[in-house]
Chains A and B, each alone.
Chain A
Amino acid sequence: EAGVAQSPRYKIIEKRQSVAFWCNPISGHATLYWYQQILGQGPKLLIQFQNNGVVDDSQLPKDRFSAERLKGVDSTLKIQPAKLEDSAVYLCASRLPGLAGLGEQFFGPGTRLTVL
């Protein structure tokens, strides 16, 4: 089966510009996550979707970050305006719904963002 797809793989922008990342989860995976991984650290959750509804966005800096999953499949994460400290790898992950996918998440290759 196809894995989690993300694009672009790399993005370089200047501070105060905007950027968007796209994620297509594994077919049938109702739960989708976005994580931020700063160099040398473990990934940190930004937002979790169940189908097209937000389950947890408590760690999302809502003044500049937004995310949507309009049809319960693909998702987009946007940053506007970007800051230097947003330089990181943005990871998308998905899992099966309910107990069938208990805990186990499948990760995409990530988008490496560099803010200059």
Chain B
Amino acid sequence: GNSVTQMEGPVTLSEEAFLTINCTYTATGYPSLFWYVQYPGEGLQLLLKATKADDKGSNKGFEATYRKETTSFHLEKGSVQVSDSAVYFCALSELRAGNMLTFGGGTRLMVKP
């Protein structure tokens, strides 16, 4: 079956630091890959996505590249802000599996001023 593994948190950074959250996946087909974010007190929001190998998803200064050879989709941001403090979820979906999302366990990011 499909699975997603992401680094455990919490990750604590100072403002303007570089962020990497690792994500690797196992899939039987050719999945689409996603990063969702959950801000405190809010619902899950799509942050970025990539639908095929070597695609780069980007949004709000965050980037992730679909690496089929390493089955990875690491999230990066060059300079984090306090407002980026949230829980980040890596996820995959496959069309043949009804596009249900398989999530990783989530990584809590705390950014200190």
Chain A: residues with CB nearer than 8 A to chain B? Answer: 4, 31, 33, 35, 40-45, 48, 50, 55-56, 91, 93, 95, 99, 101-110
Contacts and interface: CB of A to CB of B under 8 A. Distances in A.
A91 B101 contact: no
A107 B44 contact: yes
25 contacts: A4-B43, A33-B100, A40-B105, A40-B106, A41-B106, A42-B91, A42-B106, A43-B101, A43-B103, A45-B102, A50-B98, A55-B98, A56-B98, A56-B100, A95-B99, A102-B32, A102-B99, A103-B32, A103-B101, A105-B46, A105-B101, A107-B36, A107-B43, A107-B44, A108-B43
Interface residues of B, number: 25
B89 interface: yes
Contacts of B49: 103-104
A44 B43 contact: no
Given A42-B104, A43-B103, A102 B44 contact: no
Contacts of B36: 107
A56 B98 CA distance: 8
Contact of A41 (B43, B101, B105): B105
B66 interface: no
Contacts of B100: 33, 45, 48, 56
B100 to A, nearest CB: 5
B69 interface: no
Contacts of B97: 56
B77 to A, nearest CB: 20
A103 B43 contact: no
B45 interface: yes
A43 B99 contact: no
